Amino acid sequence: METTLRGVGVSHGVAIGEVRHMGTAVLEPPAKQIPAEDAEREQGRARKAVEAVAADLMARGNLAGGEAQAVLEAQAMMAQDPELMADVERRITVGSTAERAVYDAFAAYRALLAGAGEYLAGRVADLDDVRNRIVARLLGVPMPGVPDSDEPYVLIARDLAPADTALLDPTLVLGFVTEEGGPTSHSAILARALGVPAVVALPGAGEIPEGTVVAVDGSTGEIFVNPDAEKKDRLAAEAAERTAALAPATGPGATSDGHKVPLLANIGGPADVPAAVEAGAEGVGLFRTEFLFLDDSKNAPTEEKQVSAYRQVLEAFPEGRVVVRV
């Protein structure tokens, strides 16, 4: 019997396939006291785990490239945050194990982000992923992650971390659905960059049984569980119509009654410009220049590098508006 669920569509398109669930998240470590003489050893374990996770995130970023690389490098910087590490070491000093200290220190930062408004709350999934990776390494258990499958599928998760989203294979992951998240979360941004249909903020999505056939409409936010053949055909036809309608679109943008609405791109650097131009962007609504500072976490970019990046973006839109975040 067909059932319709509704979340928030964040990446257009339609995906039809069997459900696969994300790997189980790391369990909460037990709260147990350690002798004072073990504190230095536990602090060393925590530092090594943090550095290993940061290095893994940087490597994943290098593999993914583009905007995903900047997002993963930002996560690596989260892991290495000196105030966070100081809090971890303080907790170990008063008797926590390394894994429990990491879990509790990240929980404190998580609460701050969650209460800081929609945009920063959207970074909670990034922080949770960093925590889970460090704790998993300390406990010696497998990292939570994307399931292995030889057949294409629709991925369902509580939330998707950038480290997983960035390396999704669009030939296998037809689309994804998350119980949490929002349109400004990094998973939503990267889904759009990958061209993968996605729906977020759908409570109860995790209860859909593994192997169930679903149709995901990333435009409307609707999920059809066990759709019949007629529904599948109709959704596929509607998706094709939307794509055809968008393909020939060119600027300048305007409403049907002639009110001008410029189409402006959100970019992280010069590498994003060709796709923006191809999509018909008339300028840049936000040039996220902080990404220039993530290539090297210890040194700011040189003046020459910054001049070159700004020039490439400005020259691409000689008559357009370019808004720069400084």
Closest CA to 230 of 20, 9, 2: 2
Residues 199 and 208: their CA atoms lie apart, in Å, by 14
- Pairing of the two strands 153-157 and 3-6: unpaired
Q: Can you read off the two tokens belonging to residue 325?
A: 């975040």
Closest CA to 165 of 182, 180, 141, 145: 145
120 and 69 share a domain? yes
**Cβ–Cβ under 8 Å, residues 187 and 159:** yes
Q: Can you read off the two tokens belonging to residue 185?
A: 């979360």
96 and 121 share a domain? yes
Q: What is the pTM of this model?
A: 0.57
pLDDT tens digits, one per residue of 82-113: 999 999 999 999 999 999 999 999 988 888 87
pLDDT number for residue 118: 63
Mean pLDDT over 277-301 rounds to 82
Mean pLDDT over 280-285 rounds to 92
Domain boundary among 121, 139, 157: 139
Q: Which of 22-31, 185-194, 212-221 has the highest mean pLDDT?
A: 212-221
Q: Tell me if 248 is assigned to some domain.
A: no
Q: Tell me if 181 is assigned to some domain.
A: yes
Mean pLDDT over 25-52 rounds to 90
Closest CA to 28 of 126, 136, 111, 124: 136
Mean pLDDT over 222-238 rounds to 90
Give the SS3 label for residue 167: coil
The whole domain housing 130 covers: 36-139
Residue 297 has pLDDT above 70, yes or no: no
**Cβ–Cβ under 8 Å, residues 74 and 190:** no
pLDDT number for residue 222: 94
Cα 48 from chain centre:
25
158 and 104 share a domain? no
